[in-house]
Amino acid sequence: MEDSKIERINELAKKKKEVGLTEAELEEQAALRKEYIQGYRRSLQAHIEGIKLVDENGNDVTPEKLKQIQKEKGLHGRDQED
């Protein structure tokens, strides 16, 4: 999300606490928050999909479901075992 949109979210939050928001501003705030949350979820999902779990003995213990997702997306190509 662009910095200007995050700044706008903060401006609206501050204004809401101080004087309240108009109906149009409430709708804008809801839309911006929804966009922010969607971006955060995409980022978190991409991060999780890139994780490889290794036990104390160095064995790959990544869950099979995650390995399958990584294989489908071409992640950790050389590290994956079939």
**Two structure tokens written together for 54:** 């290794």
Q: What is the mean pLDDT of the chain?
A: 91
Q: Are residues 78 and 57 in the same domain?
A: yes
Neighbouring residues of 61: CB distance < 8 A, sequence distance ≥ 6: 53, 54, 55
Q: Tokens 């990544």 sit at which residue?
A: 62
Query: What's the confidence (pLDDT) of residue 74?
Result: 84
Residues 59 and 31 in one domain: no
At 2, which CATH number?
1.10.287.540
Residues 34 and 59 in one domain: no
pTM above 0.95, yes or no: no
Structure confidence at residue 76 (pLDDT): 60
Task: Verify that 71 and 38 share a domain, yes or no.
Answer: no
In terms of domains, do 43 and 62 share one? no
| DSSP string computed for 5-33 | HHHHHHHHHHHHHHT---HHHHHHHHHHH
Residues 23 and 44 in one domain: yes
Residue range(s) defining the domain that contains residue 33: 1-49
54 DSSP β-pair partners = 60
Q: Is the pLDDT of residue 77 over 90?
A: no
Return the percentage of the chain with pLDDT > 70, whole number: 90
